[in-house]
Amino acid sequence: MSTETQSNTITRHHISLAAAERLIAAAQEKAADMGIPAAVAVVDADGTLKAFARADGAALLPVRIAQQKAWTAISFGISTADWWNMVADDKPLLHGITHQEDVIVFPGGVPITDNGELIGGLGISGGHHSQDHEIAEAALGAL
């Protein structure tokens, strides 16, 4: 019999509100510099909305898409740009994954990590998906 005890729990870290707010501010600044009225969403490691901002003049649809991009990024810990690269040329996978509620497979969502641990996701929507991705990557520099 082993003397080693096993735990029935795990510890999971989540992004702090202060860090989420820094990401929001950095994303808004980058989007404004690019002339893009964007929606910015930060979710924690479980996909729960932690912080959100919608720029003045941003359309309504990006509100939901930004949150979906952030959620998708934490779902497997990869960016939505990487998702697109995996499914773009695989019609069955593309069809299957795009019929999942809240999954977005075009750029603009990135995982947020701290010392290699997934702590949240960042989603940007409002510009072309390449611009959204650029904003998200730039905002990560705020951490």
Domain ranges of the chain: 17-140
Please report the sign of the dihedral spanned by the C-alpha atoms of residue 50, residue 73, residue 65, residue 36. positive
**Residue 76, pLDDT above cutoff 60:** yes
Q: Does the global pTM surpass 0.95? A: no
DSSP 78-132: S-HHHHHHHHTT-HHHHHHHTTSTT---SSSEEEEEETTEEEEEEEEESS-HHHH
Give the number of other Cβ atoms within 10 Å of residue 104's Cβ.
Answer: 26
Residue 1: its pLDDT value, please?
A: 52
Which CATH fold would you assign to the domain 17-140?
Beta-Lactamase (3.30.450)
Report the half-sphere exposure of 69 (CA within 13 A, side-chain side).
30
**Model pLDDT, residue 129:** 96
Please determine, for residue 2, whether its predicted confidence score (pLDDT) is greater than 70. no
Q: 124 and 39 in contact (C-beta within 8 Å)?
A: yes
Mean pLDDT, residues 39-46? 97
pLDDT one-digit tens code per residue, 103-140: 888 999 999 999 999 999 999 999 999 999 999 999 99
Contact (CB, 8 A) for 107 and 34: no
Q: Which pLDDT score is estimated for 78?
A: 94
Higher-scoring residue by pLDDT: 91, 17: 17
Distance CA 52, CA 60 (A): 13
**Distance separating alpha carbons of residues 106 and 104, to the nearest angstrom:** 6
64 φψ region: left (φ > 0), alpha (ψ -120 to 50), beta (else): alpha
